[in-house]
Every structure is written in structure tokens, then in C-alpha cells.
């Protein structure tokens, strides 16, 4: 059921970025981090191991998963910058602009935006990929063994909590607790801890009352996200926002734990259907700004984000274009590359 949840979270990000509901999408990003922490620890423990050859196979597999589709998204942005040049505002669209120097070119090629807060580095041809810089950092950390044992994972979790406490102590701005690389440490560490809790069957049985209902957990997570996104423009106190943000992160952790234990969000979604739905999550994440650029020109006559009040035609146009772009990635890139990735996983 991970596939369906991943795509659902990706769609939350789309709503946040394209339809001016940014705080709605932010809750999903830390859900992605928790899931990545769990899955990357799982595959290192069960598929690759911590030998040099295992680490090399893991790194190659991650490269093939991330970069071919990412480069397609970047090329799509470059084409749109040329084709839609007369429709772009002077300030550009989000961070999608032509790289202007060697550092920005290299950053956009490698998806490594060199700053402890990667979000501050622009331009980004695929704007949401600042979070993938964070992901790559912790992929490397997990590959090197930060979650190799339960003890190491507890130490990592403790240091991650210490950063959050420190950030409040020195009064760091909210961006440091969300957009920065250290901010990603806590959800990744929680995801890794979930792996050991499931493996060692150390989850308290009393939790099963809640864990066996992942659909309820997901609905609770989305409800909190939506309510906070709705109340922020009305002046909701930032301390309440952050409290609910961390509460929702823990709810997302329970959702990942529930799915890792084998519970299903819906019995109507088969394993094959779940995988098919999940295949859309990464291209949706990479290409939603590009789909919005095309849709806004068609509907608004300019490249722009849609207003908070949007119509059904706006939704249908954006998601039709996004589905078409995603299908191109899945059929022409992901499926051929997946054959190679499977061969790498099987090799020793």
C-alpha cells in the first residue's frame, strides 16, 4: 500500500504548490521522508548489505531511480521556457528560470543544491527537488550505516531531536526546521526506527487498536493538514502551526508503521494496482509545475499559479496534463530503467 500513499502525498504537494495551499503540501513532505527512512533502511538491511559491493549497488540503483526522470523534467522545463517565453512574467515562474552560471548549471544537473537549506538555491528547473537534495543526503547516510543497528538509529534519533530543540533555543526561523537538511534528519530517523520496531515486533500491542486502521490514520493526517492550511491565512498562531506540524509528522509515522505491518488502506486496491498508482508519485512530484505552466497559459493566458478559488476546469486541465507527462516518464523511462534496477538488486 506504500504506492497509493506516496501518490496521494504527491497530490497533496501539487495542491499546495499550484493552488496556493502551500501549508497543505508541506505536511506530506515529511511523510515522504519518514517513508524513505523506512524503505532505505529496509533495502540496505535486506537487499544490499553494508559491504562495498552492496553499497555500490545501492548507490547505482538510487541513481537510476532518481536521475533519468529528473533530467526529463529539467529538459521539459527548458523547452517550456523557450516555447512559453512570451507568456512568462518578468520574475519568472516559481524558481523555473535558465541557470545563469556554472554553479547553478551543475546544481540543476546533479540535483544537489549546495546549501544547508537547499530551498534557498535558485533557479531550480524542477522546483520541488530541493527536498530531493535532502533525500540524497540521507540516502548516503543510511548507505554508510547510520541506521545499520538499532543502537545507531537511537543515537541518530536523539541527535535529530537535539537539533529541533536547539533550533528553538537559538530562535531559528521556521525554514530551518522545514527546508534544511538537518530538519530532514528527524523524520528519516523515525522511518529507520520503524523498520527495527516492525522487524523486532517491539510495537506495543495496544497500538494495534489504531494501527490496524490505516485509512483512519490517513484521513486524520489529511484533516489536520487541511485545517491548518485553511487557518494559516486567517492568522493562526505560528506556535500552534508548528505544534500541529510535528503532531502530524507522528501521525504520518503511525501510517508508515501500519503499512509496514501489512495493514491495507483499502482492500479494493490490489498489490498490482497499488504499484501502478505508486508509479505516478515521482513524476507527479517532478512535473507538476511544468503541467501548471501549460495549463495556466491555456486557461489564464499567462504562466501563473492558480488562485485559492479555482474551478473544476482548472483541476481537470492541470491533472490531465500532469497525467500525460507522468505516463511519458513511466512508459518511456521508468519501465525500461526498472528492468536494469531489478538486475542490479539481484546481482551479488
Domain boundaries, the chain: 2-346
Mean pLDDT of 32-44: 98
Tens digits of residue pLDDT in 93-148 = 889 999 989 999 999 999 999 999 999 999 999 999 999 999 999 999 999 999 99
pLDDT at 348: 66
Mean pLDDT of 175-181: 95
Percent of the chain past pLDDT 90, that is, above it, reads 84
Residues 256, 61, 285, 257, Cα dihedral to 10°: 0
- Can you say how many angstroms the Cα of residue 147 is from the centroid of all Cα atoms in its chain? 20
DSSP state of 21: -
Radius of gyration (C-alpha) of the chain in whole angstroms: 20
Instruction: Report which of 145, 174, 146 is spatially closest to residue 160, judged by C-alpha positions.
Output: 146
In this predicted structure, the answer to whether residue 304 has a pLDDT above a threshold of 90 is no
pLDDT at 340: 87
The answer to whether residues 293 and 97 touch, using CB atoms and an 8 Å cutoff, is no
**More reliable by pLDDT, 95 or 184:** 184
**More reliable by pLDDT, 74 or 1:** 74
How high is the mean pLDDT of the chain?
A: 94
In this predicted structure, the answer to whether residue 45 has a pLDDT above a threshold of 90 is yes
Instruction: Report which of 9, 83, 73 is spatially closest to residue 303, judged by C-alpha positions.
Output: 83
Q: Which helix or strand (DSSP H or E) is residue 209 part of?
A: helix 208-211
Mean pLDDT of 266-295: 95
Q: What is the grid cell recorded at 79?
A: 523547452
Percent of the chain past pLDDT 70, that is, above it, reads 99
In this predicted structure, the answer to whether residue 24 has a pLDDT above a threshold of 90 is no
The answer to whether residues 134 and 127 touch, using CB atoms and an 8 Å cutoff, is no
Mean pLDDT of 20-40: 90
Phi and psi angles of residue 96, each rounded to the nearest 5 degrees, phi first: -80, 100
Amino acid at each position: 500500500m506504500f504506492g497509493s500513499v506516496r501518490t496521494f502525498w504527491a497530490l497533496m504537494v501539487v495542491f499546495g504548490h499550484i493552488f496556493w495551499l502551500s501549508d497543505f503540501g508541506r505536511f506530506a513532505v515529511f511523510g515522504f521522508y519518514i517513508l524513505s527512512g523506512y524503505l532505505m533502511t529496509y533495502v540496505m538491511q535486506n537487499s544490499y548489505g553494508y559491504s562495498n559491493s552492496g553499497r555500490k549497488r545501492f548507490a547505482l540503483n538510487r541513481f537510476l531511480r532518481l536521475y533519468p526522470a529528473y533530467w526529463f523534467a529539467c529538459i521539459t522545463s527548458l523547452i517550456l521556457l523557450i516555447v512559453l517565453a512570451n507568456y512568462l512574467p518578468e520574475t519568472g515562474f516559481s524558481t523555473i528560470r535558465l541557470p545563469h552560471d556554472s554553479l547553478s548549471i551543475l546544481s540543476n544537473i546533479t540535483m544537489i543544491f549546495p546549501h544547508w537549506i537547499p530551498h534557498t538555491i535558485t533557479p531550480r528547473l524542477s522546483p520541488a527537488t530541493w527536498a530531493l537534495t535532502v533525500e540524497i543526503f540521507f540516502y548516503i547516510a543510511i548507505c554508510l550505516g547510520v541506521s545499520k543497528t538499532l543502537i545507531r538509529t537511537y543515537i541518530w534519533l536523539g541527535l535529530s531531536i537535539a537539533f529541533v530543540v536547539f533550533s528553538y533555543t537559538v530562535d531559528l526561523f521556521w525554514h530551518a526546521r522545514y527546508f534544511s537538511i538537518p530538519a530532514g534528519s528527524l523524520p528519516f530517523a523515525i522511518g529507520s526506527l520503524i523498520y527495527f520496531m516492525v522487524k523486532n515486533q517491539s510495537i506495543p500491542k495496544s497500538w494495534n487498536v489504531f494501527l490496524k486502521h490505516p485509512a483512519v490514520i490517513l484521513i486524520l493526517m489529511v484533516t489536520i493538514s487541511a485545517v491548518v492550511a485553511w487557518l494559516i491565512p486567517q492568522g493562526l498562531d505560528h506556535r500552534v502551526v508548528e505544534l500541529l506540524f510535528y503532531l502530524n509528522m507522528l501521525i504520518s509515522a503511525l501510517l508508515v508503521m501500519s503499512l509496514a505491518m501489512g495493514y491495507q488502506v483499502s482492500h479494493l486496491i490490489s498489490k498490482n494496482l497499488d504499484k501502478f498508482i505508486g508509479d505516478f508519485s515521482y513524476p507527479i512530484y517532478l512535473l507538476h509545475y511544468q503541467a501548471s505552466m501549460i495549463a495556466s497559459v491555456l486557461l489564464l493566458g499567462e504562466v501563473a499559479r492558480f488562485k485559492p478559488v479555482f474551478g473544476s476546469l482548472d483541476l481537470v486541465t492541470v491533472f490531465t496534463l500532469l497525467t500525460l507527462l507522468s505516463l511519458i516518464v513511466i512508459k518511456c523511462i521508468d519501465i525500461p530503467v526498472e528492468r536494469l534496477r531489478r538486475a542490479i538488486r539481484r546481482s551479488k
